[in-house]
Structure 1
Amino acid sequence: MSLLLALIAIWALIAILVLRQVALAAASTLVVIFWVVLGAIVPCLLSPWALVPLIVVIAVLNVGGLRRAFLTKPVFNILKKTMPSMSVTEREALEAGTTWWEKQLFSGKPDWNEFAQIGLPQLSAEEQSFLDNEVSQLCEMLNEWDIYNSRKDLPPEAWQFLKDKGFFGLIIPKEFGGREFSHYAQSRVMSKIASRSGTAAVTAMVPNSLGPGELLMNYGTEEQKNRWLPGLAKGTEIPCFGLTGPEAGSDAGSIPDTGIVCKGMHEGQEVVGLRLTFSKRWITLAPVATVVGLAFKLYDPEGLLGDAGKKEYGITCALIPANHPGMEIGKRHNPGSPFMNGPIFGTDVFIPIDWIIGGAAMAGKGWRMLIECLGAGRGVSLPSLSTASGEMNYRLVGAYARIRRQFNTEIGKFEGVQEATADIAGTAYTLEAFRQLVTKGLETGSPSVMTAMAKYHATELMRKSVEHSMDIVGGRAIQQGPRNFLVYSYHSVPVAITVEGANILTRSLMIFGQGAMRCHPYLFNEMQAMQDEDQERGIKTFDKLFTAHLGHVLSNIVRTKLLGLTRGHFSSVPANADDFSARWYQRINLLSASFASISDIALAVLGGNLKRRELLSARLGDIHSNLFIACAILKYHSAHPRTHAEDVHAEYAITTALNKAQQALIEFSDNFPVGWVAKLVRYLTLPWGKIVLKPTDDLTRELGDLMLEENPVRQSLAQYVYVSHEAEDAAGRVESTYQMLLALGPLWTTWLKNQNKLSGANMAEKLQDAVSKNIIQPQDVNRLLEYDARRFDCVLTDAFDKL
């Protein structure tokens, strides 16, 4: 019995040392001392059968030569065989960008003191003024029905306004004539435009996301900046960027477009340049572009760039005037929305070498440039469109569900409908919270993993919100016409899902694939050590990294087990956490530790095969992403005054996010190909079962009811979109009718309760009877008649003589 207690005590000490990540030498010393002390009580611990294994283990762990011979080198050789080699393109993609809070979540032990210091972004006075004035003025010019069905384009005055007011130069520094807005301001601008017209939002979005402007600002030569940025800022130059082609969509590394370094004539002189052959498609703004950014693979067969031994340089980016000889802009595509989109072609198009963005020094560095500049497109533009859609669905579908009645009941009161409306409300809250934390993160650099999360999850949340909205509004949302306030949002879903890499690819490969490399404290450096041409040097480097990695893994496993047994209770939370958020932070602690542990377990067991096990890696990405989303919700909730409505929205949103993370963890362990490992994962992470259930029916009903009211969250979200009150406008018809209903207060309910008891052939006659019986006052008659007419008009759909 004493031996058993001694062994338990030793294991407890080791667990504490591992959990605290005490340095190996110090930990080994403490274990030996403790062993010897216990040996005075339990003599068998000091027998040769016990001491020899202890001494061997301690020696192997602490003596570098022994450790490398018996531990590190065998592991190194096994992993080197199983891990896939990294191409230059993959290495550049993984090295590109930065990391932020998502790295803390991957560590398994988020630093909540650091999180508490993060403040959400704020608009400057200039940015707020632009939103209140120029953006509102633009929105007033736009009619999406007219744009879609008559013009197939923005009206000329809107195009000119976009140019004159600097909408195409939001990211360009003021020294070049741009507005130099923050990422948050850009997102807010695009959201407000998108709430009025997705076509206009995409048109304004492209010059401010992946394209020549951003590439020039970050990598262009001074001559290139001075040549192009002022025109791009003023709108006298319209940019597009050619990346995707018939043979290469999401796999940009396989683009067949080529640039061959050679000599040729330019402006009457022979210069070193490139002969380009390319075919690009799906290029937004191509039909109206005056300058084309182009990605291609660069080859230098004659060594004209100065390195005779280097023939292949890789992906390179150049900037070419659209009217340059050989450039051909094709006919327009029809992506389902009438924004300008089309193909670009060229065969043997000669350009001078200094048209490479950044000049000859940036030859072959295009892939890294593109990856680092994708942050705006993934983290700002597409999520801003999704957020606008979610917030407009909240506002208009909630209003419609209050106005529309079936079986003498507001349709928003039916529980089946509330299941959908609650999700719309929770999604809108989530999208706004997500947008704010992501744009804050973009202030720190270009976090590629975070922006991939933003692109995928924002567009997927939008897709679900729009589908719910269509279900609720039904035929009113299907029949197209000037009254339809949902159909164009529905049309925009496939574009958002596909642009910047299809969502399947983003979820299955990018989020965890890049996340593991960029956010894990050791993995990427270990892979680099395994690919070192000098194997002895590689093993020495790997030895240091692997030893630290092993301590990190064991610490997370112990932490996961302790948090699992306590269901996260007693774990640390931010100092400013309140009674609403504290328990949620503790749940995040458990799921974060679990995520870190199972990621390392999966990498150890499957090695490079995890890259091909996309169903598994996607679930790991889902855990990581939803932990980040949960943090965004808590941060957003803490930035607002506590109200009942705020708490209900936040509770529904964070419950949904963490339930998704938990479900992904469960499905990962259920489908892990090694049975005993799967059981270990479940034993470590959720020994007592689930810690987060789906939103309860009570919470769903409560949020469904709130969505029908002019609650504080509805009022807050209104500031991010353009809200029309015009009775003939598609959205304004619903909004103005809803406001009229709110203004009636209990009067409308009084009428509904009594209408079947009143005499008269129509509503007007029944109202007169109600006045005579003192049910309503005479001055209320016209108010009720006016609202009823507006109500009926609000539920009508358009009809046409001829389509």
Structure 2
Amino acid sequence: MSIVVPFLVFLLIGAFAAYHRLRLPVWVALTAVALVGCWLLGANPVATVVAGVLLALVAVPLLLPQIRLPFITAPLLGFYSKILPPLSETERVALEAGTVGFEGELFSGKPEWQVLLDQPAPTLTAEEQAFLDGPCEELCAMTNDWDITHVRADLPPEVWQFIKDNRFFGMIVPKEYGGLGFTALANHKVIQKLASISSVVSSTVGVPNSLGPAELLMHYGTDEQKDHYLPRLADGREVPCFALTGPWAGSDATSIPDFGIVCMGDWNGANVVGVKLTFDKRYITLAPVATLIGMAFRMYDPDGILGEQRDIGISLALLPRDTAGVDIGRRHFPLNSPFQNGPIHGREVFIPLSQLIGGEAYAGKGWQMLVECLSIGRSITLPSTASGGSKLAAVVTGAYARIRKQFGLSIGRFEGVQEALARIAGNAYTISALAEASAAAVTRGELPAVPSTISKYHCTELGRQVCQDAMDIHGGKGIILGPKNYLGRAWQASPIAITVEGANIMTRSLMIFGQGAILCHPWVLKEMKAATLEDEEQRLGEFDRNLFGHIGFAISNAVRALWFGLTAARFGTAPGDSYTRRYYRKLNRYSAALALCADTSMLLLGGKLKFKESLSGRLGDVLSQLYIASALLKRYEDQGRPEADQPLLAWSILNAVHKIEVALSGALRNFPVRPVGWLLWALIFPFGRRATPPGDRLGHRAASLLMSPNEARDRLAEGVFTTPTANNPAGRINSYLQAVILAEPVERKFLKALKGSHIEALAFTEQLDEGVREGWISTDERKQLETLREMTVDAISVDDFDTEELRSAGYRSEQEDSRAVA
């Protein structure tokens, strides 16, 4: 036994040092002291000496730079330089444009949770809250979604004017230019509230406050451009759109065929240097009503007017609508959600260089400008829209499930319905936390490249799931369109959010892990930059420092992944209280697993990893769910750890953890190098997968929160339009919940008495009359049941139409013409 002890000590101290990420000299010193102790305590001398020799063989070359640099680092640098995939200029710009927030900790394998918890809780200013309670509430009350989507296919004139008068288009424009100067958080809250009543209104307001002329001008515009355009954009004199997407390149700015040729031309009576543009754009939101067009194109200077460079690159310009040659086509019709959207065409449209955003100095820098601003826009509009729709669907579906009865029971009592209600509750809670987290990041001044893609992808996907479950529970109420339907348009519109600003199927497989693996990794980007340094000595020194930091990082994550797998992450320091500490520990485990899998994938696959989209997508799922779970825990902490929210938090965290294990399992079972996949499985899942989806008991608790008034339900409903106005049937149904619950005991008493009686009355009012005469119910209770019946009728009623009402205006016109000819 004494022969084994020195080697066991060697391994255990190495594992301890790796787990805690101790520096190499500390590990060497601890191991040396332990081996001396083994010798003194009677361990086998030969085994102790052999263990010491092993320690020396590892430590001496690594600790002495005169040995390490020429004999270890230099050969590895040569090998690394050969396998390093070349970064294109567009990839380099994309990587350098964003900032890294807490997602970097999740990629570290050992998250510093205090970094997350120390972030200030997101709060609105008094002015921003007043805007939400005032103009935003008024706009919601004015909105009739059926009139917008079916009758007009547009906002009413008074709504357009109200939006302009109250500077909804200028929320992000600084006050010195006449805008509201709101934070990204306030922008999120406004879009969330508007989306709860109409996705057409929310998109109309959202686009000018997202990626577009105003944001680009704020960051890059010349003083003259800012002074002229920003006040006009803020007060609605200019309605903006941004033309990026085209039929041949989608939203990939690096591949757009639209071009501009530098030349001389006439502008306002003068002959000036400018650009002659030819473009073909489609899917451009607000294009049909826009007066100012932001345009992305590739700029060329074949005659060398500006210098020697012929292909100047992606550039951005501002085109007034009345510019000669600009042709704004007819409208697109996106899935019965008729927000203003359409194509824009132009051939040899001349503009001066002063119309380039940022002027001539920013010619060719359009890709950088887009990447930096796109992460901000993607963080707000689409996640906020999903949050508003999902939160409203959650509380209203809960109320509907309590009001609607089948077989004498509220349908929310059936276990099948409860499963769907639990998903709605958990997913709405998740979307709300994730959307607010990404908005808060922008408010703190970050450019959240990776979180923005995570937020856009998962909020819209979960939003679609919420809408699907709500539609299933509502049944016929959900599928019959009309003024009383508050789900049908949301269901039709859900694929739109999933498609725009980068289709989700591509966002998942290419962007989330593709960006995260390099941008969030603590060592990879540093190694890549070190390997490209020109000074040889500096190159070797920087690469050496980062390489061995990376090696220690990888060893640590392998040890941590195995330890957490063996112990089911039940041990280790973690923040939180007695309820949440287990969740932090679970995330520590999967952070180490992600870092290990990412390092292994990049080492073995190198540049080929970008083509392994299934693997990239699954590892992206792990990163996403880690970020989502972090956002959930941050929300719970910021709100004071409310005990009432624990079923929602638990359901959401367990759902995220289960998805992490499913994604890791898929990645490892399909790992391109099979033996490596088996080894990773043994390290990460030594006892197999153990995470399961949220159970039925927890699902019942989450579902029950939606079907009765409580503080958790109220928090979930915060920030959406639930005022029971004539144009808000969802708000009316939600407002009935308290009265319905109070009437239920009276209803049960009455129905029980009626069932055991000999009364022959069939009409409800006559049965109530008999109930009062027989003494089953009082006069006040009769009124209560009549009110209950009225509320139930309003909740379950659907609309009907004459056939002629449903026919299009074009069809009616043809019929009238035919009759006139006859």
Same fold (TM over 0.5): yes
Secondary structure at the aligned position of 1:107 is classed as coil
Could you tell me how far apart the structure 2 residues matched to 1:29 and 1:275 are? 70
Spell out the pairing of 1:585-734 with structure 2 (5 A cutoff). 585-640=584-639, 645-726=644-725, 729-734=728-733
Spell out the pairing of 1:457-476 with structure 2 (5 A cutoff). 457-476=458-477
Could you tell me how far apart the structure 2 residues matched to 1:732 and 1:567 are? 45
Could you tell me how far apart the structure 2 residues matched to 1:626 and 1:712 are? 27
Bigger Cα displacement from structure 2, 602-611 vs 265-274:
265-274
Could you tell me how far apart the structure 2 residues matched to 1:256 and 1:449 are? 27
**What's 1:414 paired with?**
414
How far apart are 1:3 and its partner, in Å? 2.9
How far apart are 1:208 and its partner, in Å? 0.1
Secondary structure at the aligned position of 1:318 is classed as strand
How far apart are 1:29 and its partner, in Å? 5.4
Contact 1:438–1:451 (Cα < 8 Å) also in 2: yes
Could you tell me how far apart the structure 1 residues matched to 2:54 and 2:197 are? 73
1:44 aligns with 2:20: no
Could you tell me how far apart the structure 2 residues matched to 1:99 and 1:646 are? 30
- Paired positions, count: 798
Could you tell me how far apart the structure 1 residues matched to 2:56 and 2:115 are? 41
**What's 1:523 paired with?**
524
Deviations 1:616-652 (A, max 9, x none): 1111111111111111112222233555531111111
Secondary structure at the aligned position of 1:484 is classed as coil
Spell out the pairing of 1:570-585 with structure 2 (5 A cutoff). 570-574=571-575, 577-585=576-584
Contact 1:276–1:347 (Cα < 8 Å) also in 2: yes
Flag the 1:37–1:513 CA change in 2: closer, same or farther, 3 A: same
**What's 1:383 paired with?**
383
Could you tell me how far apart the structure 1 residues matched to 2:492 and 2:752 are? 40
Could you tell me how far apart the structure 2 residues matched to 1:753 and 1:501 are? 57
Letter in 2 for 1:586: R
How far apart are 1:478 and its partner, in Å? 0.9
Secondary structure at the aligned position of 1:319 is classed as strand
Secondary structure at the aligned position of 2:601 is classed as helix
Flag the 1:532–1:277 CA change in 2: closer, same or farther, 3 A: farther
TM-score (norm 2): 0.93
How far apart are 1:540 and its partner, in Å? 4.4
**What's 2:217 paired with?**
216
Letter in 2 for 1:366: G
Contact 1:79–1:607 (Cα < 8 Å) also in 2: no
Could you tell me how far apart the structure 2 residues matched to 1:728 and 1:116 are? 41
Deviations 1:737-774 (A, max 9, x none): 44441342522232333332341232222223322333
Could you tell me how far apart the structure 2 residues matched to 1:179 and 1:694 are? 44
Flag the 1:479–1:178 CA change in 2: closer, same or farther, 3 A: same
Letter in 2 for 1:779: D
Bigger Cα displacement from structure 2, 402-411 vs 488-497:
402-411
How far apart are 1:329 and its partner, in Å? 1.2
Contact 2:396–2:731 (Cα < 8 Å) also in 1: no
How far apart are 1:56 and its partner, in Å? 4.7
Letter in 1 for 2:17: L
**What's 1:503 paired with?**
504
How far apart are 1:62 and its partner, in Å? 3.2
Deviations 1:651-696 (A, max 9, x none): 1111111211122112211211222222222222232344532111
How far apart are 1:279 and its partner, in Å? 1.1
1:169 aligns with 2:187: no
How far apart are 1:578 and its partner, in Å? 1.6
Secondary structure at the aligned position of 1:720 is classed as coil
How far apart are 1:82 and its partner, in Å? 3.6
How far apart are 1:388 and its partner, in Å? 0.8
Secondary structure at the aligned position of 1:608 is classed as helix
Flag the 1:287–1:51 CA change in 2: closer, same or farther, 3 A: same
Letter in 1 for 2:197: R
Deviations 1:534-590 (A, max 9, x none): 77764443222111111111122222222222222232222xx22221111111111
Contact 2:143–2:727 (Cα < 8 Å) also in 1: no
Bigger Cα displacement from structure 2, 686-695 vs 173-182:
686-695
**What's 1:757 paired with?**
756
Secondary structure at the aligned position of 2:312 is classed as strand
Deviations 1:317-338 (A, max 9, x none): 1122121122221111111211
Q: Which runs of 5+ in 1 are unaligned?
A: none
**What's 1:354 paired with?**
354
Spell out the pairing of 1:243-258 with structure 2 (5 A cutoff). 243-258=244-259
Flag the 1:276–1:768 CA change in 2: closer, same or farther, 3 A: same
Secondary structure at the aligned position of 2:345 is classed as strand
Could you tell me how far apart the structure 1 residues matched to 2:538 and 2:310 are? 29
1:781 aligns with 2:782: yes
Could you tell me how far apart the structure 1 residues matched to 2:48 and 2:570 are? 39
Letter in 2 for 1:370: L
Could you tell me how far apart the structure 2 residues matched to 1:277 and 1:690 are? 56
Deviations 1:465-492 (A, max 9, x none): 0111111111221111111110011111
Letter in 1 for 2:439: T
Q: Which runs of 5+ in 2 are unaligned?
A: 807-822
Contact 1:456–1:503 (Cα < 8 Å) also in 2: yes
Secondary structure at the aligned position of 2:122 is classed as coil
Secondary structure at the aligned position of 2:718 is classed as helix
Contact 2:388–2:720 (Cα < 8 Å) also in 1: yes
Spell out the pairing of 1:526-565 with structure 2 (5 A cutoff). 526-532=527-533, 538-565=539-566
Please, what is the CA RMSD of the aligned residues?
A: 2.2
Letter in 2 for 1:785: E
How far apart are 1:531 and its partner, in Å? 4.4
Contact 2:557–2:596 (Cα < 8 Å) also in 1: yes
**What's 1:344 paired with?**
344
Letter in 2 for 1:734: I
Flag the 1:190–1:56 CA change in 2: closer, same or farther, 3 A: same
**What's 1:13 paired with?**
13
How far apart are 1:45 and its partner, in Å? 5.4
Could you tell me how far apart the structure 1 residues matched to 2:445 and 2:502 are? 24
**What's 2:183 paired with?**
182
Flag the 1:145–1:15 CA change in 2: closer, same or farther, 3 A: same
Could you tell me how far apart the structure 2 residues matched to 1:387 and 1:174 are? 28
Bigger Cα displacement from structure 2, 427-436 vs 722-731:
722-731
Flag the 1:441–1:304 CA change in 2: closer, same or farther, 3 A: same
Letter in 1 for 2:684: T
Flag the 1:425–1:755 CA change in 2: closer, same or farther, 3 A: farther
Could you tell me how far apart the structure 1 residues matched to 2:799 and 2:160 are? 28
Letter in 2 for 1:674: V
**What's 2:293 paired with?**
292
Letter in 2 for 1:453: I
How far apart are 1:412 and its partner, in Å? 1.0
Could you tell me how far apart the structure 1 residues matched to 2:313 and 2:709 are? 56
Deviations 1:137-161 (A, max 9, x none): 1111111111111111000000001
Letter in 2 for 1:570: F
Contact 2:111–2:588 (Cα < 8 Å) also in 1: yes
Secondary structure at the aligned position of 1:607 is classed as helix
Letter in 1 for 2:411: I
Secondary structure at the aligned position of 2:249 is classed as coil
Contact 1:565–1:688 (Cα < 8 Å) also in 2: yes
Could you tell me how far apart the structure 1 residues matched to 2:58 and 2:766 are? 96
Could you tell me how far apart the structure 2 residues matched to 1:535 and 1:264 are? 50
How far apart are 1:533 and its partner, in Å? 6.2
Letter in 1 for 2:447: S
Could you tell me how far apart the structure 2 residues matched to 1:46 and 1:547 are? 27
How far apart are 1:128 and its partner, in Å? 0.8
1:201 aligns with 2:202: yes
Contact 1:649–1:703 (Cα < 8 Å) also in 2: yes
